[in-house]
Amino acid sequence: MSSLAGRRVLVTRERPGELGVMLEALGAEVVHAPLISIEEPHDQGAQLAAQLRRLEEFDWLVVTSVPGAERVGAAAALYPDVRLAAVGLATARALAGTALRAVDLVPDVHTASALANELLRLSESQPCRFLVAQADLAAGDLVESLRSAGHDVTVCIAYRTVLRAPDQRAIEGADALVLASGSAAQSWVRAVGREAPDVIVAIGPSTAEIAGELGLKVSGVAADHTLEGLVAELERQFAARSN
């Protein structure tokens, strides 16, 4: 029996989706407490649409999240010569599903910094043109790394991340909190404060770092920065507490 059986786990993504299914399959009680919502940019996507119409002028299309991938995949399908890069497996699946072709680059470590390093390695012989589609609150490390190396980088806001307050009644008595983004950590602290379940698992080191800076005590970080990694780390956390 999984160590998650009977545990109340707060899933803070906008859509519980695959993560919720995975947790429920292991006997966890999934409490959907979204901390962010995904909304259109203030320009309703006009800037992104304009850049996608000239996508053939770029060497790489780079996305750092599933919502971003969902907004550019159809255009990517029209320009098969443009190489595709995604920060992680879930983002790559979303991009490939709408682009109707495989993603060219997914780093082994699913972080923006690892993606930047791999892009720099693959493009070290000549300057490249990058189109990066990301959230309004995305960190600038990836873009700055590419520009510092002399590449031509165009950044488009694909969507806005709006912080939401969770239902206070729903989160009471939870055994674990799952943080899939730094924005989720920010929203939790803004709405709830530093009080949280004893077990807090972050999807990656950048999310854990933001949570820590906000005063949340992160118990563990997913080893491979995927949904599967989140679930595995949650299981490990509760198994360790049972011994």
**Does one domain contain both 112 and 123?**
yes
Q: How many domains does the chain have?
A: 2
136 domain-assigned: yes
Q: Which of 131, 161, 191 lies at the terminal end of a domain, its last residue?
A: 161
**Does one domain contain both 102 and 29?**
no
- Neighbour-count burial of 172, counting CB atoms closer than 10 A to its CB (0-12 exposed, 13-18 middle, 19+ buried): exposed
pLDDT above 80 for 65: yes
Residues 15-32 pLDDT 10s? 767 888 999 999 999 998
41 domain-assigned: no
**Does one domain contain both 101 and 124?**
yes
**Does one domain contain both 73 and 140?**
yes
**Does one domain contain both 172 and 150?**
no
Determine contact, residues 174/10, Cβ cutoff 8 Å.
Answer: yes
Distance of CA 191 to the CA centre of its chain: 21
CA distance linking residue 89 with residue 72, whole number of Å? 16
Half-sphere exposure at residue 168, Cβ-oriented, CA atoms within 13 angstroms: 6
30 token code pair: 């999934």
Give the residue ranges of DSSP H helices in 123-226: 141-148, 168-171, 182-191, 205-213
Q: Which of 161, 188, 218 lies at the terminal end of a domain, its last residue?
A: 161
Average confidence score pLDDT of the chain: 91
- Residues near 8 by Cβ (< 8 Å), separated by ≥ 6? 28, 29, 31, 173, 174, 175, 176
**Does one domain contain both 154 and 50?**
yes
pTM score, whole prediction: 0.80
Q: For residue 132, which of 146, 149, 117 has the smallest C-alpha distance?
A: 146
Residues 109-160 pLDDT 10s? 778 888 999 999 999 888 999 999 999 888 788 999 999 999 999 999 999 9
Residues 80-93 pLDDT 10s? 999 999 988 888 99
CA distance linking residue 235 with residue 237, whole number of Å? 5
**Does one domain contain both 97 and 192?**
no
Question: Residue 92's domain spans which residues?
Answer: 46-161
